[in-house]
Each structure stands twice: as structure tokens, then as C-alpha cells.
Amino acid sequence: MTSPPQTMFEKIWRRHIVVDRDDGYTLLYVDRHLMHDGSEGGYAQLRRRKLKLRRPDRGFATPDHYVLSNSGNRADIPDAQHRRLVERITENTAASGVTLFDLGDERQGIAHVVGPEQGITQPGLTLVCGDSHTSTHGALGALAFGIGTSEVAQVMATQCLWQRKPKAMRVSVDGALGDGVTAKDVILAIIAKIGAAGAVGHVIEYAGSAIRGLSIEGRLTVCNMSIEAGGKAGMVAPDDTTIAYLDGRPFAPKGAEWDKAVAFWRGVPSEEGAAFDRDVSLDAAAIVPMVTWGTSPEDALPITARIPEPSTAPDGAKKDSMERALDYMGLVPGTPLEQVAVDRVFIGSCTNSRIEDLRAAAKVAEGRKAVIPAWVVAGSGLVKKQAEAEGLDKVFRDAGFEWREQPGCSMCVGMNGDTGKPGQRIASTSNRNFVGRQGPGVRTHLVSPAMAAAAAVSGRFTDVRRLLG
Ligand SMILES: CC(C)[C@H](C(=O)O)[C@@H](O)C(=O)O
Ligand code: SF4
């Protein structure tokens, strides 16, 4: 009897089963464990239970959330507790033997930028991190998802993790993306369509010609926001683009191991005819630059649209939540998005702080002037170095943008103190526009790097397509 065709998710899941329990839980083997400056919680649990880290060679750490964006010096972190966490990651990894990309090392950066960049993230592997945006790594064909602190401790102690098997969902985007339309617009369009809970309980496989046409950077942006659609993980099948990206990366296999790895990676994609529990499709040509208007990533609209009218909501509960969101965001229904004035711009985060993101923003900034404060925070020291080698820092500075010193999460979440002021409206390339995300009372609008740069030079949301070419 031949077995039915398998999805990529199914194949990776099966290869990692240690035990299947009767109650529906599976013990999965974990190939890679990424840690950041919040991993102290996991280490503290290990210490309390007098346990050792089982496979330090499978762990990789870098401080990101509490790192200052204007100084790579730990001692400058004003909040003692935050400073302590950034110290603890150094101490914990030294004591346990985990590889650390510390402050002062050009490989340091946001964990989800560093993993792929270093070739730690690879097709067919399982990868976890105590961080919801771990879904990012699925862009290389890995099964990658965020875990909580007690799960972090479990992985540290056993290199395994109890999980219930999620369902499989496929989101296909076919056709050609228009000029000025980027991976960020694709994922915002997907979330607008399926909703912030649209993929709950599912691993999303992104497929179709528009996804295959994306660079790895673009795929990382798409997979990053899978969690904002409620998904457990997001993945893209490994292909020539993936293999070319990994070739020569420090932690990618070398020599004969490389050839073996490539042969294995070629077998990772879903098989023809594999069944998905859900299938959704979008037309790439219909996607235009997107802007969120509300306090959920699903509140995304084309830049050509107007602020929605709560009266058009399908039910009373939705109407109430729209009214609350519009009230928080200080927006009047019916206003064209292009007439909404912006106070500040943030280009960065694990969604959009890679070299292509910075190039896209610089292309718009070049020869223009920012009329509002605009920050650029590179996702890693290597991204920063590359951008500087290309002169992008100069383009940004000449255009009046602030080129921040130290890579990290910065204003994406403001845990390092990089927050906006109450009432400020920020065009942000990050992934969450939740109430208070960038500081109390701050109004976050999610956009692509190109759209963020367009807002910076116009002082309002602007259809970047008019500024290009
Ligand atoms: C602080 C961290 C655990 C958190 C996450 O899990 O995602 C953060 O990265 C975020 O984006 O909100
Ligand atoms: S950049 Fe933002 S979303 Fe990404 S890990 Fe840091 S805080 Fe979380």
C-alpha cells in the first residue's frame, strides 16, 4: 500500500517524533534552540531543579529586547533589571556552553535575524525560541515556533518538547506583485483576509508563484507574521533560492556534508497532491501597499482606502471593537488613509530590518528629506555593516533619518525604553499594532519599509508607488 502524499509540515513532524502518547501529545525532538535576553527565565528553572542544559551545541543566543539602540555598552542600560538580563545571557551561556553572539560581536542582533543570517536555521529542522515570532524561521523550510518559559526549560533540560499536532493550512499567492508592493504588503493582505485568528491551530505553508518569487528576506517577513494570523508556524518550501541563501553561511554544512544536506533539503517540500486541512488563495496582482488603521494586524487596508465606518461592521461586537480601535487610534471614519498625518517613523524589527528592507527604504529616502523623526535600526551587526558598506547609512542621514547605533528590537516593543509619546502616530515596519505596544497611548500603524520611508518624507501616509521610478 502506498502512503498518501505528505505535506512538508507532516514530513518534518514525523521525522522528529520521539514518542506519541495516547492522549494526543507527541514528544518532539528539537534541533535548534534560539535564546535571547529573556531566556533567563528558562535558566532560572533549570537552576531551581538542579538540571543541566542537555545539548548546548544546539543552542544559540543573542541579546535583543533590552539592548539600547544608541549604545552597545551594557553598562549604559539605565534600568537595573534590564541590564541584569543582558548580563545574565552572557553568564548563562558561558556556564552552559551555548554559542553566544554578544554585544560587541558584529553577529549580534535580533534572534530571528541572526538565526537565518548565520545559517543556523535550515530546511527540515525543528527550531524553537521563547518568542512568538520564531515562526520567522519557517521561511527556510524549518518547522519553527515560539514556546513559553516552562517549555524553554523543558527544551534546555531534554532537547525535546511535548506538543499537540497542529493542522496544516496552505495560503497560496499567485501572480506578479506590482512595483512598490512587498512581502510586508502580502502578509498584511493575507491577515486582513483570514483574520488575526484565521490560522489558529494551524501551521501555514505559504505557496504559489508570488511566494516562490520572493527572496529569503521577503519570505522571512511573511513567515514572521504567521503568528499575527494566529498560526502556530509559517513555512515556505525550500528551493534553489533557499539553497543559494544558505551556501557559505557560517553554521551551514560544508563540503560533503553540504551535498548531503542539499539532497535532504530537496526532499523537504510538500508532495504533489498532499492534502491540507484548509486552503486559501490570493491574487498577487490585486495586492497594493497596505497600512493598518486599528489595533490588530488584521485591521489592514490598501493605502488607497479610507478609514472604515463601524456602521458597516457585520455585527454589534465587531462594531464596538472598531469604535474602540478608532477611538484609541484617533481616527475619523471615512478619512482617506493618505490624509492621515504621521508623527514618527520606525524602520526595524524582526519583520523588516534586513538588508533588503533597508535598501527598499533608502531607495525612497534618497534625495528627499524626512519631515518627521524617522529611525532606522538594523536587525543585526552584519546587516548594519553591509548597509554601511553600501552607503545606505549616508543616504538615510542625508535624508534626515536617524541611523541608530546598535541592532536590536528597539521601538518594535519598546522594552529597551525606545518608545513613542502618548498620542503619537507611528508608521512602523514591525508586526504588532496592539494598544500600547510602542508606549502608552502610542498609535502604531504597520507598513512596509518603503511605505515607512514614504511617510517619513511626506509626513503622512503616502502611496509609495507615486514616489518610485
Ligand atoms: C518579549 C517576547 C517574549 C515577545 C514575544 O514573545 O514575541 C516579543 O518579542 C514580542 O514581539 O512581543
Ligand atoms: S523585533 Fe519585535 S517582534 Fe521581533 S522579537 Fe523583537 S520585540 Fe518581538
Count Cβ neighbours within 10 Å for each residue of 140-179 and write b for 16 or more, e otherwise. bbbbbbbbeeebbbbbbbbbbbebebbebbbbbbbeebee
Cα angle value 302/307/308 (rounded, 5°) = 100
Asked whether residue 206 falls in the same domain as residue 107, the answer is: yes
Is residue 2 assigned to a domain?
no
Asked whether residue 78 falls in the same domain as residue 35, the answer is: yes
**At which residue does the C-alpha cell 477611538 appear?**
327
Percent of the chain with pLDDT over 90: 99
Final residue belonging to a domain, choices 228, 253, 278: 278
1 pLDDT tier (thresholds 50, 70, 90): low
Final residue belonging to a domain, choices 223, 248, 278: 278
Cα angle value 265/269/275 (rounded, 5°) = 155
Q: Which three cell numbers stand for residue 434?
A: 496592539
Q: Based on the structure, what is the number of domains in the chain?
A: 2
Is residue 285 assigned to a domain?
no
Q: Contact at 8 Å (CB) between 106 and 72?
A: no
Asked whether residue 249 falls in the same domain as residue 332, the answer is: no
* Beta carbon of 228 within 6 Å of any ligand 2 atom: no
Ligand nearest to the CA of 416: 2
2 pLDDT tier (thresholds 50, 70, 90): confident
* Beta carbon of 409 within 6 Å of any ligand 2 atom: yes
Mean pLDDT score, 203-224: 98
DSSP per residue over 79-108, as a string?
SHHHHHHHHHHHHHHHHHT-EE--TTSTT-
Measuring CA to CA, which residue among 66, 115, 110 is closest to residue 216? 115
Cα angle value 228/230/231 (rounded, 5°) = 105
276 pLDDT tier (thresholds 50, 70, 90): very high
Q: What is the mean pLDDT of the chain?
A: 98
Asked whether residue 180 falls in the same domain as residue 311, the answer is: no
H helix or E strand, kind and range, residue 427: strand 425-428
pLDDT at 147 over 80: yes
pLDDT at 338 over 70: yes
Asked whether residue 20 falls in the same domain as residue 71, the answer is: yes
Asked whether residue 296 falls in the same domain as residue 274, the answer is: no
Helix (H, G, I), strand (E, B) or coil at 402: strand
pLDDT at 454 over 70: yes
Is residue 287 assigned to a domain?
no
pLDDT at 231 over 90: yes
d(CA 77, CA 64): 13
pLDDT at 164 over 90: yes
222 pLDDT tier (thresholds 50, 70, 90): very high
Final residue belonging to a domain, choices 233, 253, 278: 278
Measuring CA to CA, which residue among 115, 119, 117 is closest to residue 128? 115
d(CA 130, CA 207): 27
* Beta carbon of 412 within 6 Å of any ligand 2 atom: yes
What ligand 1 atom has the least distance to the C-alpha of 415? 1
Asked whether residue 76 falls in the same domain as residue 222, the answer is: yes
Sheet of strand 160-164, all strands in order from the earlier edge strand to the far edge:
17-20, 25-29, 160-164
Task: Name the residue of 37, 66, 131 to mutate for ligand 1: max ligand atoms within 8 A of Cβ.
Answer: 131
> Per residue in 87-117, pLDDT tens?
999 999 999 999 999 999 999 999 999 999 9
Ligand nearest to the CA of 69: 2
Ligand nearest to the CA of 64: 2
Q: Which three cell numbers stand for residue 294?
A: 486599528
The alpha carbon of 90 and the centre of ligand 2 are apart by a number of angstroms equal to 20
Is residue 286 assigned to a domain?
no
H helix or E strand, kind and range, residue 364: helix 355-365
Asked whether residue 206 falls in the same domain as residue 315, the answer is: no
Q: Contact at 8 Å (CB) between 231 and 204?
A: yes
Is residue 259 assigned to a domain?
yes
Is residue 367 assigned to a domain?
yes
Is residue 267 assigned to a domain?
yes
262 pLDDT tier (thresholds 50, 70, 90): very high
The alpha carbon of 190 and the centre of ligand 1 are apart by a number of angstroms equal to 21
**What is the residue range of 358's domain?**
292-466
469 pLDDT tier (thresholds 50, 70, 90): confident
Q: Contact at 8 Å (CB) between 360 and 386?
A: no
111-118 vs 381-389: helix crossing angle, rounded to 10:
70
Asked whether residue 268 falls in the same domain as residue 372, the answer is: no
**Which residues surround ligand 1 with Cβ inside 6 Å?**
38, 65, 131-133, 146, 413
Mean pLDDT score, 151-171: 98
* Beta carbon of 69 within 6 Å of any ligand 2 atom: no
Helix (H, G, I), strand (E, B) or coil at 417: coil
Asked whether residue 235 falls in the same domain as residue 260, the answer is: yes
Asked whether residue 249 falls in the same domain as residue 302, the answer is: no
Say what the pLDDT of residue 404 is.
98
> Per residue in 385-428, pLDDT tens?
999 999 999 999 999 999 999 999 999 999 999 999 999 999 99
Q: What ipTM was reported for this prediction?
A: 0.97
Q: CATH code at 345?
A: 3.30.499.10
- Tell me the binding residues for [4Fe-4S] cluster: 350, 409, 412
What residues contact 223, with CB distance under 8 A and at least 6 apart? 135, 136, 137, 138, 139, 206, 233, 234, 235, 236
Is residue 283 assigned to a domain?
no
Say what the pLDDT of residue 3 is.
86
Asked whether residue 319 falls in the same domain as residue 349, the answer is: yes
Measuring CA to CA, which residue among 63, 143, 139 is closest to residue 105? 63
